[in-house]
Structure 1
Amino acid sequence: MGYQTTPEKINAIFSDLSKDFIIYAPKRFVGDGTFTDIDTIRYGEIADLSEIEFAEKSDYSFKEVLLPISETLFYFTENEIKESDVPKKGAIVFLRSCDLHGLKRMDTIYLENGAVDSYYKRLRDQTKFILIGCENSFDNCFCVSMGTQKSDDYDAYIKVDGETVLVDSHWDLLDTALAGAPPSSVIPDSVTANDTVVTIPETVPQTLFDAPFWEDYGNRCIACGRCNFVCPTCTCFTMQDIFYTDNGKAGERRRVWASCHVDGYTDMAGGHAFRNDKGQRMRFKVMHKINDYKRRFGTHMCIGCGRCDDVCPEYISFANCINKLSDLVNDAAKEEI
């Protein structure tokens, strides 16, 4: 249902919901960027509608709400294992349409890719998602090319227009809280075009896996992993056992974010490692995002948010890489003819 209400009413609802939920949204952290005069927009807890950054794209995605950077899975001693407690509160997350599509990719990896990941599921089951519309495209976004500029799979949509708040609710709890508010027709804002446009090849021939094209990225990439850490669909992790100093036989096992671009990701027992070359790592990521994942699950893994382009210190553009690869695929097809 659609409603028209006020910021004061929404803040009162937030206050009530905060008894059972932690509310996360993109918010501005002043002076928290690379330099003291640069702000960062990232996810944090909010209590007031005015704290939410609606006008700009967040530098980081929402994914750490469901996939914490470091998450304790269980505690152990020499005699027993105790699984970590389920969070007492659920979560409410404000996010844009592309990120909602990213959520579907995360669900596929953790809930439909073999055995269900119970640690992800217990957070996912307690989380509600509120859509933020996009009135304008942001720098480096190519969501239209990826078909992720719209989504109707949300628990609510909220738009602030001065002293008016428009709400489209798919959540009975919110419907109850807004009972009596004037009804309104609410259609989420979405863009129809981006400045950045990508063309994704239907298939990539095996001959291009070792093309000199990838060597350019081997020379430029510094393996910092920033592109992976800001990406809402990069979900790789490693495990760490932490032993307590006062008892070397007790500790905890943690799941920690990992990155296919960072040294050590492919290390194996015996000192073996795959993809030591940074160009090979770039190839692995690109092919996973726009080829391998789709062949298995039917949709591209990349959602076109453009955060990887925003954050790269070497100005490597993932969008340009896709287009260059598409050109190579077309050239290879012409040669076959």
Structure 2
Amino acid sequence: MGISLSNKEFNNILDELKKEYKIYAPKLFKGKGRFSDTDLVRYDEISSIEEIEFGKKSYYSPKEVLLPITQTLFYFTEDKVIEPEIDHKKTLVFLRSCDIHAVKRLDEIYLENGVEDPYYKRRREKIKFILMECEKSFENCFCVSMGTNETDDYSLFVKSEGDRVFVDIKDKEFSSYFDTGVETKVFPNFVKENKVEVNIPESLDIDIFKSLMWKEYTSRCIGCGRCNTVCGTCSCFSMQDIFYKDNERTGERRRVWASCQIDGYSEVAGGFDFRSDQGDRMRFKVMHKIYDFNKRFGYQMCVGCGRCDDACPEYISFSNCVNKLNEEVKEGK
């Protein structure tokens, strides 16, 4: 069972929740898209149901809520190391099913990969999910192929229809907030099929590294890194030490999102870059998503959100690449 409320009643509840939680959801930013006359849907703090963009896929994934693009780990002086003050507010974030699955992948990397990352763990422990349904499959999505089109890992399900909001409360912690409204049946509808289907090769192994298909991406990929930036499961970062001008012995250490597709990512001491070719970089990314991660954790890293295909200025399709791999394996190439 769930409840039905007016938009005004739901916004009043959001006001109460904001005393304890920061609330993030996809928002529409007019004129902020790739071109001057296009819009952008991106995650940001919200205060009302009207601000939430339910009908469009966000350009960026919500991972920046959990994993900031730039994060100061600590400040240093000549004789001290000081960690930044902790924001004690908890977080609520509106997510689609595939993005909830993407968080599970980040958990594997940052919490279940041998060493717990304390900075990620601190944020992760304070976050809860509000499920948004997808009424239809968006362009380039292939979540059904990846098995991420459905989930029950959420605290609340929220659906907006006109001037009414329908809420399913799974987490009893939130029951006290929803003491108004009309009882009704509320359940999420999940996408059952996508226009795009992906077939991950069975019996895939590293022999596929020798395939000539990777050469296609040497000429096509420009190494901009957009695919990694918008991806909900890419988790790589680099470290930066920032020294202050007024005293060069003081500063801060930051970690910043990194991309395996851009120059410098695979450069080692002495200046050698062991993946300078864009085809090699594409191979590394694809094989990590559908081979390496699966070998370690037992399921696929990619969740089929299709954002990499949406963002690529050269129209390189990850889903097409995986299907090409499947054909290569079938033909024994």
Q: Structure 1 CA distance, aligned partners of 2:275 and 2:287?
A: 14
Partner of 1:303: 303
- The match for 1:184 is 184
Tell whether the 8 Å contact from 1:203 to 1:291 is kept in structure 2 after alignment: no
Normalised by the length of structure 2, the TM-score is 0.98
Alignment of 1:227-238 (within 5 A): 227-238=227-238
Gaps of 5+ in 1: none
**How many Å separate the matches in 2 of 1:35 and 1:146?**
31
Residues 236 and 257 in structure 1, CA contact (< 8 A), matched pair in contact too:
yes
1:180 Cα offset (Å): 4.3
- Displaced runs of 4 or more, over 6 A: none
Deviations along 1:149-169, whole A, 9 cap, x unmatched?
Answer: 001001111001122211111
What residue in structure 2 maps to residue 97 of structure 1?
A: 97
CA contact (8 A) 1:159 1:165 kept: yes
Structure 1: distance between partners of 2:297 and 2:133: 27
For residues 126 and 293 of structure 2, the distance between their equivalents in structure 1, rounded to whole angstroms, comes to 27
Q: Whole-Å Cα distance in 2 between the matches of residues 163 and 35 of structure 1?
A: 32
Letter in 1 for 2:21: F
Match of 1:282 in 2: 282
SS at match of 1:136: coil
| More deviation, 88-97/40-49 | 88-97
Which segments of 5 or more consecutive residues in structure 2 lack a partner in the other structure? none
Q: Which amino acid aligns with 1:306?
A: G
1:206 paired residue number: 206
Instruction: Name the Cα RMSD after superposition.
Output: 1.1
Q: What is the CA-CA distance between 1:205 and the residue it aligns to?
A: 3.2
More deviation, 143-152/161-170: 161-170
Would the aligned equivalents of 1:128 and 1:155 in 2 still touch at CA under 8 Å? yes
8 Å CA contact retained: 1:110, 1:117? yes
Superposed CA deviations along residues 293-325 of structure 1, whole A, max 9, x for unmatched, are 011101100000000000100000000000000
Normalised TM-score (structure 1): 0.96
How do residues 242-281 of structure 1 correspond to structure 2 at under 5 angstroms? 242-281=242-281
Deviates more, 1:140-149 or 1:160-169: 160-169
Q: 1:168 to 1:212 in 2, by over 3 A?
A: same
Partner of 1:223: 223
Is 1:172 the equivalent of 2:172? yes
Whole-angstrom CA distance in 2 between matches of 1:44 and 1:96? 15
Contact 1:218 1:277 in 2 (8 A): yes
After the TM superposition, which residues 1-16 of structure 1 pair with which residues of structure 2 at under 5 Å, given as runs? 2-16=2-16
Amino acid at match of 2:273: A
8 Å Cα contact 2:5/2:180 also seen in 1: no
Asked if the contact 1:11–1:48 (Cα under 8 Å) also holds between the matched residues in 2, the reply is yes
CA distance in 2, matches of 1:5, 1:141: 31
Partner SS for 2:200: coil
Q: Which residue of 1 aligns with 2:77?
A: 77
Deviations 1:89-113 (A, max 9, x none): 2221111000000010011111111
Residues matched between the structures, number:
333
